[in-house]
Amino acid sequence: MSIPVVRAETFYLPPPARHPEDWSQIPPAQRVFRWAEHRQQRRLVPPAGFILGQQAFARINHNRWVADCLCGSAQVVTPADPRMACTECGLGWIRLVFPEDVAAVEASVAGLLPHERNWWHDDDPAWDRPAAAEDEDQELVALVAETAAAAGLVVGTPRSSLSPAIEEASR
């Protein structure tokens, strides 16, 4: 059984002393305000309207759907209610961009360990988005081969196929 990707409606839950369904009537994107109020012990009022023309990209980060605020804060979000407002800086509601096929994206990371489940939208210019893995791998392979060749080493061969000088040194 696979561990599902965490969404706002399963992350932002009432305190243990309250019934789990106590927040069921609160839209998932607004639950972060109730959750933060309880944990930070300060009153937070969700904004009244949307900021037109602003959007953020949702991504999977360590098995959680998250989105970043312009201030650098982030929160767990959900495709069931694709909007967010910041509990830190007070930024009003902004639209979130999720992939067209959320289930397919979640399925694409399901085979990984939860802490390795990361996904970015193709259009997301995020600062922490890794370079294409294939490009990095090819560059690393080329660098290792070049360095090994300069040192007279054979790379990627079984020990018995190493150069005689290396075999002699390893005895």
Q: pLDDT digit string (tens) for 57-103? A: 999 999 999 999 999 999 999 999 999 999 999 999 999 999 999 99
Confidence band of 157 (pLDDT split at 50, 70, 90): very low
Same domain, 13 and 67: yes
- For residue 1, is it within any domain? no
Same domain, 45 and 61: yes
**Which of 98-107's residues contact partners 24+ apart within 8 Å by CB, and which partners?**
98/58, 98/65, 105/60, 106/4, 106/5, 106/60
Residue keyed to tokens 């997301």: 124
Same domain, 69 and 151: no
146, β-bridge pairs: none
As a whole-number percent, the residues of the chain with pLDDT over 70 amount to: 78
Same domain, 141 and 164: yes
Q: Which domain holds residue 123?
A: 8-128
Residue type, 43: R
pTM given for the model? 0.73
DSSP string, 154-166: --S--GGGS-HHH
Same domain, 50 and 100: yes
Confidence band of 129 (pLDDT split at 50, 70, 90): confident
Structural domains in the chain (count): 2
Do 31 and 8 contact (CB within 8 A), yes or no? yes
